[in-house]
Amino acid sequence: MLMRARWWIARLPAFVLSFVVLFATAAFARIGGGESFNSGNSDSDSGGGDASFIVDILVWLIIQNPKVGIPVAILVGLGFYFWRRSQDGDTSTRKAIDKAETERRTNVSAASVDGWVNALKAKDPQFDLMKFFDRTKREFLELQDAWFKRNLEPVRKYLSDATFQRLVTQLKLMDLLGVRDAIADPAVLDLQIIGLEQNESYDSVHIRVTAQLCDAEAPSNATDEQALAAARKKKPEQFIEVWTFLRKPGAVTKVEGDVSQGKCPNCGAPFEGGAANTCEFCGAIVNSGNYDWVLAEITQGSQFQPHPMTPDGLVKARQSDPSLTTETLEDRASLIFWKWVESQSLADAGRLAKVATPGFAEEVKGGIEHLTRQGKQKFFVECAVGGVNAQQLTQADGKDIAAVEIKWSAKIGIGPAGGKPPALPSQPQRYVMLLERAAGAKSSADNGMSTNRCPQCAAPLTDNGQPSCEFCGALLSSGEKDWVMKDFGSWEWWRSKGGQPATSRAAPAAAKVPDREERERLVYLMATMAMADGVVDESERKLLKMASVRWGIPWANIELALNAPAGSLFEKLIVKGSTEAESFMKELVQVAMADGKVDSKEKKMLEAAASHLGLAGRLGEFLT
């Protein structure tokens, strides 16, 4: 009996730990974390710190008093099991909704496919859809392998600079959390072309990739063999992504080989890649999109937006800068966004030195130093981007100004430096990045989608913390020749400054109703305002619950928002009575009037929101 007790005491801590790890939620992250965009809190590591604390207590209790500790450990394990079972219904429902949304967004007719292929062949007679699919499959598998091995250099030649930066930052964020993505047995099940956009700047091809793999999470110090073993314990899961490839209209298919076959897409010389992404024989920038297809975006099927936007002011801007394109502008904004995330996550404002104005970089540096003095850091967990859309181009004070919308989501929190992030809900964000450059500056046609290069000498930029190019000495942070980040704020903040949204090429009726992520963001903002005075009364909860039901937002997500620590959802509250508050009120009314009317219950909700916004008694203005 004594021997058996000792056996249990020696082995039960490991048993309990494995039980906790098995049934606690996990933050799986396919390439780039795209599946995390506004995934609510499903399959997310919202309580890793608490689980570790519980395990420590159980281990101590088992050693000190096994008669009590062993039964308690078993009860805890059973509790995790039944809690996990209780989540399965929600998870399966969310997956079903995502699947239905994916089908709606990515299903196309055979006639459309024929039309797109014929349009490509008209410009490029050598284009072969089946060979393009073979190429996509090859690149997909190579990218999975590079992601798993945490070394993206071998696939850099396929990616736009912003896509490469996104993946690199995602890997760094996971490493900061002490985890790595463990994947095994990736396979492409089906490929289909689901869209083609052609303009004078780029041909954009959208490919629906149906794939499967085994996905798990492993400690960051796990070897490849250990990570593979962890992944293969999971069942394969199917998923759908949309891969968007861009290429200049004049480029044609190379029958003898392309960049995915180790050839320079311009001169055909052997090319294996490298940080410069430049052919040593002809000097071509291989990921520019000027000579071959470049992977510019990976989108989850349920988030794919097939209708491009036409930014206000684009036609006028192109009169003086014919090489200016929304594709390169959005890629540049995406690149800078991920550097912004990286700079705060790594507490290194120098990451922005070359791509932001000195004033903005100094502001970020000040925020980092403030947290550092407190022994804290900022966390971006499950950070993902759902869309990057150029909205407006204007001129002011001798500068070109570009406003680019960034739809993103993350669990954003502040915690002890080097520790674990606090448990927070994943929240959708809608920001606008203001980029500026000197009036009269010209876009580089040669660089194309390679947007992380010096505009003067075309050398690839590094993160050495200096505002100048280390090759030619050109000052980059001034914006004399390329876009740099001037400011970054909420959608309402930008609209309050007179921002003019782009017009969608979608049907007008479809463009009037905000999507699910936008509706959820608005509800979160309402919840944040309700919490501002420290108390959310029953009437406010009822109104929020009504919005939850009518706007299709899970109430569990809103409860998490209501229970979040103060200041964790949004960095800044909307100033009462401001033009920003008025802009937010207009957004709420737009959603409430989606069915063409506002009933008595909705009116109560809007009146409560107006009161919180310092707009009491003015609801009638926004309803007319």
Characterize 232-266 residue by residue with b for buried, 16 or more Cβ atoms within 10 angstroms of its Cβ, and e for exposed: eebeeeebbbbbbbbbbeebebbeeebbbeebbbb
As a whole number, mean pLDDT of residues 496-509 equals: 69
pLDDT at position 82 is: 55
- Helix residue ranges per DSSP H, 107-188: 110-123, 129-149, 161-176
Amino acid at 569: L
Tens-digit pLDDT profile for residues 298-310: 988 777 876 677 8
Strand-pair partners of 453: 460
Please, what are the domains in the chain?
A: 2-23+44-100 (no CATH), 108-308 (3.10.450.240), 309-502 (3.10.450.240), 511-623 (1.10.3680)
391-397 contacts: CB < 8 A, separation 24 or more?
391/309, 391/311, 391/312, 391/432, 391/499, 391/500, 391/501, 391/502, 392/311, 392/312, 392/313, 392/499, 392/500, 392/501, 392/502, 393/311, 393/312, 393/313, 393/314, 393/316, 393/317, 394/313, 395/439
pLDDT at position 443 is: 94
- Is 161:200 a contact under the CB 8 Å cutoff? no
> What's the rounded Cα separation, in Å, for the pair 454 and 452?
7
Residue 565 clears pLDDT 90, i.e. is over it: no
Q: What is the mean pLDDT of the chain?
A: 83
> What's the rounded Cα separation, in Å, for the pair 1 and 7?
10
The beta strand positions in 271-425, using DSSP E, are 294-300, 309-310, 376-396, 399-416
- Number of CB atoms found within 10 A of residue 209's CB: 20
Residue 406 clears pLDDT 90, i.e. is over it: yes
> What's the rounded Cα separation, in Å, for the pair 362 and 477?
12
Q: Dihedrals φ, ψ of 123, to 5°?
A: -90, -30
Model pTM above 0.85: no
CA R_g for the chain? 26
> What's the rounded Cα separation, in Å, for the pair 594 and 322?
39
> What's the rounded Cα separation, in Å, for the pair 544 and 271?
57
pLDDT at position 508 is: 41
Cα-to-chain-centroid distance, residue 139: 21
Tokens 């500790």, residue located: 69
Residue 15 clears pLDDT 60, i.e. is over it: no
Q: Find the range with the poorest average confidence among 192-196, 199-203, 452-456, 523-527.
A: 523-527
Q: What percent of the chain has pLDDT over 90?
A: 50
> What's the rounded Cα separation, in Å, for the pair 399 and 470?
25
Burial of 79 (C-beta count, 10 Å sphere; 0-12/13-18/19+) = exposed
Structure tokens at 372: 């550092």
pLDDT at position 452 is: 96
Tens-digit pLDDT profile for residues 124-163: 999 999 999 999 999 999 999 999 999 999 999 999 999 9
Tens-digit pLDDT profile for residues 584-612: 888 888 888 877 788 888 888 888 888 88
Query: What single string gives the DSSP state of each residue in 20-57?
Result: HHHHS------GGGGGGTT-TTTT--S-HHHHHHHHHH
pLDDT band for position 563 (50/70/90)?
Answer: confident
Strand-pair partners of 409: 384, 428
Tens-digit pLDDT profile for residues 343-371: 999 999 999 999 999 999 999 999 999 99
Residue 60 clears pLDDT 70, i.e. is over it: no
